Structure 1
């Protein structure tokens, strides 16, 4: 028996909202401008909120923002579940709607805020997978000299694991952001916040080889001298989607779980540091987390490490 489409799916297939809902579209666009100019959120976050608000406006249709109740919003969240969105996407949609209604209150567009009563999902239940150190070694050595851009790919994978940077942060690293002699580089995280992260000798060697043997050739293909470190075959900055595809390609080559992503390497970076005895707050600083609670959610210590600590320090171990 065919699955009955939800109201949300039917509205999405029907195309853009009718003209009578143009006012809601305008308010949503003004909300995104507010996030960009006043809250200084990162471009990727703005883009994600933009998708969430288009989805919400489509669901609302010709309805009025002033007449939305907590029951209506609960139905909206329910339809997100029925549409089989990932838990992370649903949680972000909830945050977007809650933030949107706070903005509406500030602007005097609505008097009450039913979105305050929406509860976000417990994201700590969805911890991404971690590669073992053996898998990391296999993965980092997966590019072969027969690959056209193997020097770049080795350097890129090394930097991902060596720094724990997000995919967008790795793509935006500029040549002038590096100080290889001092063993650190500067990256720009969420909200335009910059931080300095240390980098190891193997990653430095890979970057040096890439810059000496390949980057100059790629840069010559661009009409304008590129500032970014990692370049595509056209000489432009490598983007997140290209990086994501390369990670998937090399994981498949060495038989690692196909669900691996650049985020998995970031998580492995943090987990391996903690398993080796690193201080949680130092890991927080390297990851660029504003809150220590985020780091606690994001990382988990291997059971073997916990057992060793218990055996070493508990009086009745």
Structure 2
């Protein structure tokens, strides 16, 4: 009976695509690899199992088509079965069979695995983000809005639009709604969000650049406003905050940090405390200090673009004591400036004690440094992979890794390093090195040595970019993306000869990619080496430089200058770490000697 057939076996749109390929004589192994995921589809585990599944599917559909199709189609199929033992279909005949057998098509459900409806590559990357079912996918999109796809590898804006459109078409059967602001347009080129007025009924939360304070909370009549004229023009608290942040317009990292702290405090003041910033007193500041320990759920959410209504000031439901301390000190400094500029009459934060923190014995995580043997293995492996034609990604990673590990750069310094600041020098003994000027912490400029191996890696990366590293007019970032995203914003940034460097966070992703590849490709890793790779980060290479320099008896003041430490005491941690390593190795030697006697 056709009803029994329908209950026994259901087929997805992916199955029909695979069957069309089968009718066109594609090998079952190719079909399994293209359309299925062995983790979700047992019938794709071997070519034989794949062929049996497709032949069974074809037989089921033919039976349904004979039962529900036209008389002409039914007669054609019966004749084909009598002659060949099974229906011998062309692509055109299969299309008619599909139309007649639509009641065999499975409808998507929230509990269906991702692999049932999406091709293996897409399903694999979605699973990598913890998305196992269609219900998980809808929840993931709804939690992150139009930019949900940015955190999923190989899911660009085009594929994201198709996935969201498919989810919307099947909302009825899935039983879950994809929210309206999971926009099908590229979120990078979406129009700016409307300004949100804060301070009335139904409090909303939005970032600093998108808010307008209602008069009752804008601070124009704040009780802590200075009586005399201010040294800058600001009618309300929002203008005063922007004037303060404008001081750091040339320090993007500091600007981001201070913006985060001030907008958190302002939003808390007007939505939770119900007071203007310029009306807050000491008890209000104490209450905010307690709030930092456990922000309310309305202030916490997954990372989202600042243009999204899902944006929240906090990404975690609690802050570490160190982060709480930083927030209090940043706010105290901002209020001090507002008092000095005669916008505020007094600074309530001066009477608020700092949050209690534990003073760390060692502030630098030097234990993250790679052991010398592992560092040499990593260098050799990456160097070998970089020599293969077409391995552009390995060459980018090779140049980045050596900038960090051979020159001790911070990731921000590596991202901002430019060709104009790199030039060859000859040491007193005739050794040829390169010198690179970088802008480090606190906007301090310093010069670091760059090894010939690093320069050669950078030179190879430039060849991939189609640029001549050695021309006298060579200019631009040392490291830059080879592939430009297909968005209007990205194209504008890279238009003409204006090449953009990597963003700092992109360097994290490059090193994370390297870490995953090394864990798979490096053979005979010891447990200690494996643990070191698991925790490898961009800063681990900087620590590697410091510890190996100390081990090579490089004078500590030289190491300090290269690393850009403000105090020699900070650099001495690397010496202490090396001394502990020496003692540990000698101790092991004593133990082995005692055991052999």
Instruction: Please give the TM-score of this superposition, normalised by the length of structure 1.
Output: 0.76
- Taking the aligned partners of 2:355 and 2:539, their CA distance within structure 1 comes to 25
For the 8 Å contact 1:248–1:261, the answer to whether it is kept is: yes
Counterpart CA distance in 2 for 1:33 and 1:159 is: 32
Q: Is contact 1:280-1:295 (8 Å) kept? A: yes
Partner of 1:79: 294
Q: What is the CA deviation profile of residues 3-25 of structure 1, one whole-angstrom value per residue up to 9, with x for unaligned ones?
A: xxxxxxxxxx9413753444333
Bigger shift: 168-177 or 91-100? 91-100
Task: Note the alpha carbon deviations across 1:43-102, whole angstroms, 9 max, x for none.
Answer: 112112211221122222232444133633431332369823355544432332232232
8 Å contact kept, 2:408–2:543: yes
Deviation at 1:119, TM superposition (A): 4.5
Q: What SS class does the counterpart of residue 447 from structure 2 fall into? A: strand
Q: Distance in 1 between matches of 2:557 and 2:269?
A: 43
1:215 aligns with 2:465: yes
Matches within 5 A, 1:1-317: 14-16=204-206, 18-19=213-214, 20-22=216-218, 23-36=236-249, 42-61=251-270, 62-63=274-275, 64-65=277-278, 66-69=280-283, 71-79=286-294, 83-86=317-320, 89-108=323-342, 109-115=344-350, 117-119=353-355, 121=357, 122=359, 127-128=364-365, 129-140=368-379, 141-142=381-382, 144=385, 145=388, 147-182=391-426, 183=433, 184-211=435-462, 213-216=463-466, 227-233=476-482, 234=484, 235-255=499-519, 257-295=533-571, 301-302=577-578, 303-305=580-582
3-state SS in 2 of match to 1:185:
strand
Q: Which stretch of structure 1 is more off in the superposition, 157-166 or 196-205?
A: 196-205
Residues 172 and 228, structure 1, Cα contact 8 Å, conserved in 2:
yes
Instruction: State the superposition RMSD in angstroms.
Output: 3.4
When normalised by structure 2's length, the TM-score is 0.43
How many Å apart are 1:250 and its aligned residue?
A: 0.2
Provide the secondary structure at the position in 2 that maps to 1:232. coil
Shift of residue 132, structure 1, vs aligned partner: 1.6
Instruction: Give the gaps of 5 or more residues in structure 2.
Output: 1-202, 219-235, 296-313, 427-432, 485-498, 520-531, 587-597
Secondary structure of 2:466's counterpart equals helix
Flag the 1:31–1:76 CA change in 2: closer, same or farther, 3 A. Answer: farther
Distance 1:90 1:137, change over 3 A: farther
1:247 deviates by 0.5
Q: Does structure 2 retain, via aligned residues, the 8 Å contact 1:174–1:228?
A: yes
> C-alpha offsets along residues 294-313 of structure 1, whole Å, 9 cap, x if unaligned?
4457885231246799xxxx
- In structure 2, relative to structure 1, the CA distance for the partners of 1:106 and 1:35 (3 Å cut) is farther
CA displacement at 1:263 relative to structure 2:
1.8
Aligned counterpart, 1:10: none
Structure number, greater radius of gyration: 2
- Superposed displacement of residue 285, structure 1: 1.4
Name the CA shift for 1:308/1:260 in 2 (closer, same or farther; >3 Å).
Answer: closer
Structure 1, unaligned runs of 5 or more: 1-12, 220-224, 310-317
CA distance in 2 between partners of 1:261 and 1:33 (Å) = 32
Higher relative contact order (CA 8 A, sep 6+): 1
Distance 2:533 2:477 in 1: 30
Aligned residues: 288
SS of equivalent residue, structure 2 residue 506: helix
Judge which range, 263-272 or 45-54, deviates more.
263-272
What is aligned with 2:147?
none
Deviations 1:219-250 (A, max 9, x none): 9xxxxx96111111135322212211000110
**TM superposition shift of 1:159:** 0.9
Aligned equivalents of 1:296 and 1:127: distance in 2? 11
Q: What whole-Å deviation, never above 9, does each CA across 1:129-153 have from its counterpart, x for those lacking one? A: 2222233234433372353333232
Given that 1:105 and 1:113 are in contact with CA atoms closer than 8 Å, whether structure 2 keeps it comes out as no
Q: Is the 8 A contact 2:245 2:255 kept in 1?
A: yes
Q: Is the 8 A contact 2:415 2:479 kept in 1?
A: yes
> Structure 2 vs 1, CA of residues 258 and 168 (structure 1 numbering), >3 Å: closer, same or farther?
same
Please state how far the C-alpha of 1:272 moved relative to its aligned partner: 2.5
